[in-house]
Chain A
């Protein structure tokens, strides 16, 4: 079943005809994603030939949805146009918009995430690698050949750390891996993914990857304590990172947390989450916990 994305998902690509859009649409198709169209108002009516698959270009997200029944859009448009692209997708009533674009101004992210929420569109990103349900569909830029389908769910702020963990656990495989993005404001949080993984019968265990800054991991810990019965394994990056950009005195007032890696690790451990010291050790914890789960279910 997986979360947010399955083989049934019909995927549009906003910015498909640009350089990045072309490259990654080709990869998504190769990974089995059902890419049903691209969106570019200046190239409406044209089609792009990706080797053995011809993908039509629509003038708007609404046109693409009408013609194809698309329910997911992947956004590759440049930062200056991202806000308009996401608002357009939300207005068209699409269920999921995966915003890959890096460098989106925070005021724009604030505006379009709040707008999409009102319209009932889930946003993943911005500045994210997207999500993959291995063997079924890949919406974004996560390499599809690192891992295979399996029973671990993964949620992470960081792209390359996601890849590293996918690789470490390639023999176990994943239900869905979600890269939620590392920007200060993102549409889908760790908590949203934990809730979905908790309800997903294909997911037995969740890996949660966090990093310094903000208090998303502390909030996730509180959520795990109250709502998650599946085992969760954590990893936090940034113990030795220099202090990040200051958010002034007001930053800590908002979150009540220092945002340090240590504070996050402690918050997770306090609710029973095992936290690895390195990605490799995190993978080992996953393996040992999965064994335990299986022994318990067999007993």
Chain B
């Protein structure tokens, strides 16, 4: 889960990393009051979980409280790369003398975290890495040792960062470990003309798997852009809305992704990704199908299940349950193979719903579901 900038800022502050004074709001009037509290002028920053906010006009300097209110009004509701801006953060402007980049990121291949640091901050770090690779320092972190002052000192020295950043590097590692983060990034980390080190902007990605031991995350901390995604999440399903017409449901992320690809290969567009997971019950299947059938964009539905642990007869029972509850008007193509497939097929044959047809292969099922988009 990615955090908003203001959430990352709050985590940094909690762990003793110096940050500029700032407050967050969704109200232009409140923004005026915040600017006044910050001393008059403020940087108004759109809160959206995407890069390029500055280029999109989502980050602006307001010279006084009245301008802060006007600017906030302009930024709220803005669409930045598909993310609607619901809140802004107002931060106290700082006099920047130098900008740096520091991050800890997972190196999947090495199975450990990597410190990345550069004295060239504030820019797109990918671009810096591409054009001036020598300016970006990468240091693997030993999982057993973590980042001590000594390690941090070595990282800072290698990257050409001032000595005051060593403490930030140590504390940033604490954020990564204590908060179960997969990524912590400060860009830019700045030195002000007054000689102060400040984390001006940050990005934090938390590990969803660690939710069980990070109590304060709470379910309300996740926001869904799409009502169908929210409905699916409430039922514990992994659902992603896409912009096509073929509703897709299957078991296992790999097989569902593959099903999306095969449908696209047949010239149709998938309407969603929906994984009912391993060993799914009839109820899970029924819930999943209900979500898909309630999507007005869906013109046909493809159910592709290879039962490993999942029993195909339970899947078939779930399909029948959903058909009875939702009373669909869209055709369904069902492909069941693997564990108890024969039983599952019999359940559907006996139910004999006029909108349901079965296919014997994955490719055949995809072709049929794609063809039905135009007849449905």
Contact = CB atoms under 8 A, between A and B. Distances in A.
B58 to A, nearest CB: 17
Contacts of B262: 277-278
Contacts of A297: none
Contact of B126 (A156, A235, A252): A252
Given A107-B177, A248-B183, A146 B338 contact: yes
B363 interface: yes
B193 interface: no
B265 A79 contact: no
Contacts of B339: 143
Interface size class of B (residues with CB under 8 A): 35 or more
Contact of A185 (B49, B111, B125, B126): B111
Interface in A133-189: 141-143, 146, 156-164, 167, 182, 184-187, 189
Contact of A105 (B49, B129, B209, B258): B209
Contact of A251 (B105, B144, B278, B309): B105
Interface stretch (B25-33, B246-254, B286-294, B344-352): B246-254
A107 B207 contact: yes
A250 B262 CA distance: 32
Nearest to B366: A278
- Among A161, A163, A209, A211, max chain B CB count under 10 A is at A163
Best-surrounded residue of B108, B125, B308 (most CB of chain A within 10 A): B108
A239 interface: yes
A160 B280 CA distance: 13
Contact of B108 (A146, A159, A214): A214
B264 to A, nearest CB: 4
Contact of A248 (B103, B273, B337, B361): B103
B215 interface: no
Nearest to A238: B257
Residue with the greatest number of chain B CB neighbours at <10 A, chosen from A79, A157, A209, A238: A238
A110 B306 contact: no
Contacts of A42: none
A84 B257 CA distance: 33
A276 B253 CA distance: 18
Q: Among B106, B144, B177, B251, find the residue whose CB has the most chain A CB atoms closer than 10 A.
A: B106
Contacts of A239: 260-261, 264
B108 A185 contact: yes
B205 A247 contact: yes
A29 B125 CA distance: 53
Given A114-B143, A249-B185, A254-B107, A105 B210 contact: yes
B254 A182 contact: yes
Contacts of A242: 240, 242, 273
Contact of B106 (A80, A162, A240, A247): A247
B338 A143 contact: yes
A99 to B, nearest CB: 13
A231 to B, nearest CB: 22
Contact of B109 (A107, A212, A216, A280): A216
Contact of A278 (B143, B213, B363): B363
Contact of A163 (B138, B242, B338, B361): B338
B182 interface: yes
Contacts of A212: 257
**Of A219, A240, A255, which is in contact with the most chain B CB atoms at under 10 Å from its CB?**
A240
Interface string A96-128: 000000111111011101110000000000000
A141 B278 CA distance: 10
B309 A143 contact: yes
B315 to A, nearest CB: 13
Interface in B162-215: 177, 180, 182-183, 185, 187, 203, 205, 207, 209-210, 212-213
B2 interface: yes
Given A79-B212, A164-B258, A241-B257, A159 B144 contact: no
Q: Which of B103, B207, B258 has the most CB of A within 10 A?
A: B258
Given A105-B213, A216-B108, A253-B116, A278 B187 contact: no
Interface in A55-76: none
A237 B113 CA distance: 26
Contact of A160 (B129, B142, B144, B251): B251
Contacts of A237: 254-255, 257-258, 261
A179 to B, nearest CB: 10
A106 B106 contact: yes
B136 interface: yes
A245 interface: yes
B182 A278 contact: no
A204 interface: no
26 contacts: A79-B209, A105-B213, A109-B111, A142-B308, A146-B308, A158-B254, A159-B308, A164-B258, A164-B337, A182-B254, A184-B108, A185-B108, A187-B111, A189-B109, A209-B254, A211-B254, A237-B257, A238-B260, A242-B240, A248-B205, A250-B116, A253-B129, A254-B106, A254-B108, A277-B261, A281-B363
Given A143-B307, A240-B242, 15 more contacts: A104-B209, A105-B213, A106-B209, A156-B254, A159-B308, A160-B252, A164-B306, A216-B108, A237-B258, A237-B261, A240-B260, A240-B263, A248-B103, A250-B185, A278-B362
The 8 closest A-B pairs by CB, nearest first: A158-B254, A160-B252, A160-B255, A161-B254, A250-B105, A105-B210, A237-B257, A237-B258
